A and B are shown apart, each in its own frame.
Chain A
Amino acid sequence: MLSFFIASCAATGPKFAELSSSISTWPPDTGRIYIYRTTFLGAAVQPEVELNGEVIGKAVPQGFFYADRKPGDYEVLTSTEVDRRLSLTLNSGQVRYVRLDISWGFFVGHVFPVLVEDEVGKKEIQECRYVEYKKTEKQSEKKEPGDEPQ
């Protein structure tokens, strides 16, 4: 029963290791931000993840997604009963790894983004599965051309 519940909450896409060769390049003059969640703790708590105000994915246990963006300043935001923010810079050609951790909350756990070392991110993301995020109609209307989240 428990394993069924955990499985139903976890990401189901292809593993990073299987996808890595097909996603290893990104547009010139951009950097990449990988966002992933390893822990099953608080598996039912799966907030959306925003990057500079745009929803780009969901914090699904053992899931990952990524965004290719121009160099600049970025803020990753997760909202449960509180907002948790991580601010980071991104350079051209740079890869950043953001892990979504969980801490205790009052009614529900708090999912919060943490910037991790490249070696740690590269290792931890291997077993995560790709999470495809489908925008709602309302979000799609706000989409800017050429700024498609991955």
Chain B
Amino acid sequence: MAAYQSKNKRVRNSAEILLIIVLLLNACAFDIIHVRQSPCQIEKGKSNRKPFRLGKETQVTLDTGYSRKLKDGVRWDYVGVIPLGEVFRTNDQILTVEGSNIFEAYIVVSSGKLVGFYLPVQKAFSPISDPIELEMIELKHIQ
């Protein structure tokens, strides 16, 4: 009787351990890299910032661990403003923010530094932990 109960307990313990492993693997491999984002409204036409070109290539490490390059010479056009900075977009390169999912993104600049990304589909701001100085060369509107 004691041997039967002991065997039953071992089987139950093994099943529990297997279940925990499966759940952990699921969590680790599949869906834990979330892009931090908070909803925000973009106000268009609040200021009239000029477009700029980036003076040098800038490497950005996202909080998710992925990295992105902002290409040298790319033109960025002002879109609007959100509470954390001014939003610029470009047609010269594809910019996305990546975690488990991928989001098209615009850049958010405050005091000459890249502070994060605006996600136009989610209408949300995604910050970066370490703001990066940008070499911004201001352009006239038609250039």
Question: Which residues from chain A sit less than 8 Å from chain B, CB to CB?
Answer: 73-75, 81-82, 84-89, 104-106, 110, 112-117
In the complex, the answer to whether A73 meets B121 with C-beta atoms within 8 Å is yes
Question: Which residues from chain B sit less than 8 Å from chain A, CB to CB?
Answer: 25-26, 29-31, 93-94, 96, 100-104, 119-122
Closest 5 CB pairs of A and B: A87-B121, A85-B101, A73-B121, A82-B30, A88-B104
Q: How far is the CA of A145 from the CA of B50 in the complex (A)?
A: 43
What residues of chain B lie closer than 8 Å to A87, measured between beta carbons?
101-104, 119, 121-122
Q: Return B98 CB to nearest CB of chain A, in Å.
A: 9
Q: Given the known A-B contacts A106-B29, A115-B96, A116-B94, are A86 and B120 also in contact in the complex, defined by CB atoms under 8 Å?
A: no
Q: Return B116 CB to nearest CB of chain A, in Å.
A: 16
Q: Return A44 CB to nearest CB of chain B, in Å.
A: 19
Q: Which of A84, A89, A106, A117 contacts B25 (CB 8 A)?
A: A106
Interface centre among A74, A87, A116, A117 (most CB of B within 10 A): A87
Nearest-CB residue, chain A, relative to B30: A82
Q: Contacts A82-B31, A86-B96, A86-B103 given; 20 further ones with Cβ under 8 A?
A: A73-B120, A75-B121, A86-B101, A86-B102, A87-B102, A87-B103, A87-B104, A87-B122, A88-B104, A89-B120, A89-B121, A105-B29, A105-B30, A106-B29, A113-B102, A115-B94, A115-B96, A115-B104, A116-B94, A117-B93
What residues of chain A lie closer than 8 Å to B101, measured between beta carbons?
84-87
Q: Return B104 CB to nearest CB of chain A, in Å.
A: 5
Q: How far is the CA of A73 from the CA of B119 in the complex (A)?
A: 11
Q: Given the known A-B contacts A82-B31, A89-B120, are A117 and B102 also in contact in the complex, defined by CB atoms under 8 Å?
A: no
What residues of chain B lie closer than 8 Å to A112, measured between beta carbons?
102
What residues of chain A lie closer than 8 Å to B122, measured between beta carbons?
87
